[in-house]
Every structure is written in structure tokens, then in C-alpha cells.
Copies of this chain bind each other. A is one copy, B any other.
Amino acid sequence: MRRMTARPANAHQARLLKLLRDGGPNSRAQLGDQVDLSRSKLAVEVDRLLETGLVVADGLAASRGGRRSHNVRLNPQLRFLGVDIGATSVDVAVTNAELEILGHLNQPLDVREGPVAVFEQVLSMAAKLRATGLAEGFDGAGIGVPGPVRFPEGVPVAPPIMPGWDGFPVREALSQELGCPVMVDNDVNLMAMGEQHAGVARSVADFLCVKIGTGIGCGIVVGGHVYRGTTGSAGDIGHIQAVPDGRPCACGNRGCLEAHFSGAALARDAVEAAQQGLSPELAVRLEAHGALTAVDVAAAAAAGDATCLDLIREGGTRTGQVIAALVSFFNPGLVVIGGGVTGLGHTLLAAIRTQVYRQSLPLATGNLPIVLGELGPTAGVIGAARLISDHLFSPA
């Protein structure tokens, strides 16, 4: 199949495409109810979309008491590639134009191996997905990297945990390889977009999405749009000071949130606890695997290990302190907690909530839900697909 290259010609078409993306197949009449256009105008624009091939007819809808309407939907052959590069693993997924995941692969991979190695991996995963017949090619790709990005150019800038990537033309390179448009963003922003599109943050205009993985970051959504800051580093909350004169951090300061609570910090604390004999559970696991991760801590905590519960609670409290400050400042309508560490579940959430509700003003917390993300590891790739679809479904 030839890949689609068409773009909407005007704002009306863009609007219609997004409605079809978010609402699935729709009749002309239903579309008409949502867009405030005259029937004639609507018909013209839909016809033009049909001509481009972005939209196809999709049979008849059920009758609503009169003549049945002809459904239209986004071309079911459209394919987006969503790539979520984490610090220690890579997710690649294929979606249709409605951003439903058709296939999803996950591979452990250290981002510090550099862009060339990572790209090789990503491309081979994409090829594998394509080989299953899910896609013959891609109409667009979104990709998230664990660090700040100069968004318009799609280039990482001064990423602390992925030094080899600074200035690497991710967008350009991937676009070349895949032969389709590509957009690049911070992984945390993509998670926020994912939860906004298909998760807990549907219909919330202003919210924060805190991702606790190897590091800690925060996606900021203002008025339904991701806010990236002046240089693309907005939401970089891992190096906010959580403990005065606390632990030394890789960034050169002391007491950074990330140094006290994150996947990396938790693993280190767990090993320490195991070695000091504070937690038999962890000691057993350390013996077995030779290393510990947040998963081990979660399992031990679930088994009732007091040390692990304390670790989680303390981390949650630290995180809660920082979030409390951000809530006072930003007054969001929702706070989503996500990332690898969410396996720690409700112990963590409870600690965070306690701290936020205690430290922020009632007006800001009064009706503020603090919840775990709904999509887990798929949030990032869905967000990536959403990113590129937003781009492609905007007037050129």
C-alpha cells in the first residue's frame, strides 16, 4: 500500500479528523452535531477528506428512526509508530489512526549505549512488528526520550542521563530511516498525552503527570496542551531540592528529589537494606538475582516487609513534599502518578496524598484527585502516537 501523505487543508478538516480519531467511526449527521457547520459545508469537507484517502466510507450506521446514515472513519490502513525510550528499556508499538495499539514490544536497553545502538534496536523492533503483518509501513512516528528536547527541531538538549544524545538529530534521522514524518518529545510529556487521550486525564484541561522511573519528571498540561517551557526543560523536577543538605546527586547538588527517591535510588536503598540484614525478604531476592529493582521492593512490601514499606513511605513523603509545592504553584485539576515505580501502588500513593493534602492549601487540594496512571507501560507509546497524529491532523 502506498503510504498516506495527505494533510488536512483547513481547520475544519483538521477538526473532523480529530473527532474521528477520538470518537471512532461516525456518521455525517453525528459529525454535524459536533462541529457547527452547515450540512452542505460539512458534506464538502467530508468529501474532500474521502478524496485524500485519509477517511473512508464505513457502511451504514444503525437507524435512529429514519433513514440510516453512512458512516465514515479514518482509513483503517493508516499506521502510526509509537516509540518510548526509557532509561533502561524501549517500548515500540504500532497503532491505527484511532490510536489503538495493534502490537507492542518491549526490550531492556540502556539508553547510555547511545543513539546509534538504540536506533538500531528501535528499527529492528519496528521491522519485527511490520513483519507480523500489522503494518506495511508507517504514516508517522512519535518518539519519546528521557530528557529535555528542543521540540521544534526534535533534538535532545543537554540530557543528563543520556550524554551521547546531546544535539543528535533524532527527528531527522528517524524520519530518514522510516520514510515518514516524525515528532520527538520528552517521555514524560508523552505519558501525559497518553493519559489525556486514553487514560485518567480525559476531559481535564490542566493537570500534572508525575513519572517516577529511573529518574523523576513531570508532564505539564495547560489548557489541554503540553507545556514545554522556554528551552524544553519544563517539568524537570527530579533535581528540585527535597532534603536540605541531603544526599549528593549526580547533578552536583545535594538533596535532589531524584537522589532520595527514584528507581535508581530505591534499588540502591534496597541493596543496602539487604546487606545490612534489615530485610530478609530482600536479602533472599538479592541472593537470587544478584541485583534488586523496584519490582523486588514492591514484592517484598506486598509480603509485608516492614523495611520496604518504610522505604516506600519515606520516598512517597519526599515526593509528596515536592508535589505539594507544585500543587500550590500550579493549582492543577488532577495529579497523575505513573512510571515504573507505580508497581509500589497504593502504599506509595497514600504517602504522597497524605503529604500533599497536609502541605498544600485547602483551596488547591479541595477537589484534587491524586491517582495512579491508568495505562501503565502503554501510556508512553499511546502518547507518542497521539503526538504525531496531532501533528499530521493539523493544517500544513
Contact = CB atoms under 8 A, between A and B. Distances in A.
A229 B205 CA distance: 10
B328 A237 contact: yes
Contacts of A359: 241, 253
A222 B227 contact: yes
A228 to B, nearest CB: 8
20 contacts: A148-B363, A158-B362, A205-B230, A206-B229, A218-B329, A229-B364, A230-B332, A230-B333, A231-B367, A233-B328, A233-B361, A233-B364, A234-B331, A235-B329, A236-B361, A240-B328, A240-B329, A241-B324, A244-B244, A322-B325
A290 interface: no
Interface in A157-181: 157-158, 160
Contacts of A322: 325
A333, A359, A362 — most chain B CB neighbours (10 Å): A359
Contacts of A280: none
A48 B208 CA distance: 45
B332 A363 contact: no
Interface of A: 148, 157-158, 160, 205-206, 218, 220, 222, 227-237, 239-241, 244, 251, 253, 321-322, 324-326, 328-333, 358-364, 366-368
Count copies of this chain in the complex: 2
Contact of A231 (B205, B236, B331): B331
B148 A251 contact: no
- Which 4 A-B pairs rank lowest in CB-CB distance, beginning with the nearest? A229-B331, A234-B331, A230-B333, A240-B325
Contacts of A241: 321, 324-325, 359
Contacts of A148: 363
Most buried by B among A222, A235, A330: A330
